[in-house]
Amino acid sequence: MYTKTKISEKTIGKGKNKLKETVVKVSRDDKKMIDPEDITELVEELETKVTKAHGKHKLRVRALNVDKWYTLKGYDDDVVNVESVEEYLDGRVKDSTKFGKFYQIELTVIRNA
């Protein structure tokens, strides 16, 4: 149902402060838009896998809709905030329904190297 493609993986920092950054793009196989509920499920799934494999980590979630890229979860945030898109669009557009779904998601994981 979803295609997950590793976009990049690189080491950041030196010595004891080395971190590994991995960026993964997620899109639907059927080319349909991704619902906000699906984003939450995908993030929870990834969080579980990364925690089991690597322990402590930070995750950023960005999503692309018809307007632009939105950061739905920053590295230091606890939850995915899909409502932030609606808050941003409030008063800017009359019909925001087409902005509530996303073409693709970009997940960036930072963990100890």
- Return the amino acid letter for 30: D
Q: What 3-state class would DSSP assign to 54? A: helix
- pLDDT value, residue 90: 75
The total of structural domains in the chain comes to 1
pLDDT exceeds cutoff 80 at 82: no
22 sits in the region (left: phi over 0; alpha: psi -120 to 50; else beta) called: beta
Taken as a whole, the chain contains a residue count of 113
Chain-wide mean pLDDT for the chain? 88
Structural domain range at position 6: 2-112
